[in-house]
Amino acid sequence: MNEFSEFIGQIIQNPALLITVFLTLAVILVNGWTDAPNAIATAVSTKAIPPRQAIIMAAIFNFLGILVMTAINKTVAQTIYNMVDFGTNSHEALTGLCAAMVAIVIWAVAAWAFGIPTSESHALIAGLTGAAIAMHGGLSGVNGSEWLKVIYGLGLSTFLGFSMGYVVVKLIGLLFKKSDRRKTIGFFQKAQVGGAAAMAFMHGAQDGQKFMGVFLLGIALSKGQVNEAVFEIPFWLIIVCSVVMGLGTSIGGYRIIKAVGMDMVKLETYQGFAADLAGAGCLLISSLTGIPVSTTHTKTTAIMGVGAAKSVKSVDWSVVGEMVLTWVLTFPGCGLIGFMIAKIFIILF
């Protein structure tokens, strides 16, 4: 409580920090709004769990994911924290961070308006990078070794997500080959609820850490600590991030659930369970190795792998094409927005 009281005092005394905190919370809200629903999309689409209950479950397991993974391994947060350098001037650095947050909100809300499940992870990385380039006038503000982990994450979430979805659903089909499908529906409905809970848990473990890293970066910059390399995540911040992310999920989740869980491929309960299990497994590997990946990217590639195992024609590739286009455009698009807003903020402030 003393840490939280100190933080409130800092906000009151520092308007720049107040704006940064507001924008960061807005980004976390948008993440819950547009990204967290992916965790429960398949369970809702197969009617394994009603939407309202799924949202409550997602909020609870998002919190647990943030809490547990932060205690075990906080390297994802560390990667985001150290990915960019906004310079030695703390005021300008805080301005750059604000610009990155604004860019992420603009990009995410635009994608939500079209019902396309954009990746807040990619938007976060792109927005931070674009703003850092604007602050330095070049790539000197980008930490190449940390950014390389993003490239690893893209490959991991794409190929591992797809292949794990394909293998898991094939394995389930083999194990239950001789079972009466009507008798297994109840089992897989319960299993899918567990799978969705695991996905929500891992969403919190991945995305919760990313945004806490940004939150702590803003606090450090407001204190003039521009070169801090090590940090501790306070418990109150875990609570705040979880609550705001859960609120976002309850506001706008259904549109994304429809795009991911219903439009891309029609799944049976066992297939939905396979997609959740594969996605959660891929996210667990990424989190333990400290590689920041997109939960949206991972979940959708796992669903694509499950659909392809049944038949290539069972996947609506036009929906997949829209998603891939969004992923491809996120880095240059959100990065450019972050760059432009940072330049504008430098002039104004």
Mean pLDDT of 202-206: 84
96, 70 contact by CB (below 8 A): no
CA distance 290 to 293: 9
Transcribe 244-307 into DSSP letters.
HHHHHHHHHHHHHHIIIIIISB---HHHHHHHHHHHHHHHHHHHHTT----HHHHHHHHHHHHH
pLDDT band at 225 (very low <50, low <70, confident <90, very high): low
Mean pLDDT of 302-324: 75
Give yes or no for residue 103 having a pLDDT over 70.
Answer: yes
> Strand (E) positions, 155-207?
none
243-278 pLDDT, tens digit each: 888 777 777 555 555 555 455 556 788 888 888 899
Q: Which of 130-144, 228-242, 283-297, 315-329 shows the lowest per-residue confidence on average (mean pLDDT)? A: 315-329
Q: Which residues contact 317 (CB under 8 A, 6 or more apart)?
A: none
Q: What is the percent of the chain where pLDDT is above 90? A: 6
**What local confidence, expressed as pLDDT, does residue 168 receive?**
92
49-93 pLDDT, tens digit each: 887 788 788 878 888 888 888 777 777 777 777 788 777 677 778
Mean pLDDT of 311-322: 69
Give yes or no for residue 236 having a pLDDT over 70.
Answer: yes
Q: Higher pLDDT residue, 216 or 198?
A: 198
**What local confidence, expressed as pLDDT, does residue 261 receive?**
47
Structure tokens given for 217: 């970066």
CA distance 34 to 223: 32
CA distance 51 to 215: 30
Q: What does pTM read for this prediction?
A: 0.79
27-51 pLDDT, tens digit each: 888 777 766 667 777 777 777 888 7
Host H or E run for residue 328: helix 317-348
Q: Which of 37-41, 101-105, 161-165, 342-346 shows the lowest per-residue confidence on average (mean pLDDT)? A: 37-41
165, 309 contact by CB (below 8 A): yes
Helix, strand, or coil here: 6? helix
For the chain, how many residues are written? 349
Structure tokens given for 201: 């848990």
Please tell me which of 6-20, 31-45, 146-160, 277-291 the model is most confident about, judged by mean pLDDT.
277-291
Helix, strand, or coil here: 59? helix
**What local confidence, expressed as pLDDT, does residue 226 receive?**
59
Structure tokens given for 207: 């995305």
302, 279 contact by CB (below 8 A): yes
- Residue spans per domain, the chain: 2-348
102, 82 contact by CB (below 8 A): no
Could you give the C-alpha distances from 72 to 75, 99, 198, 248, 289, in angstroms and in order? 9, 32, 16, 26, 11
**What local confidence, expressed as pLDDT, does residue 336 receive?**
92
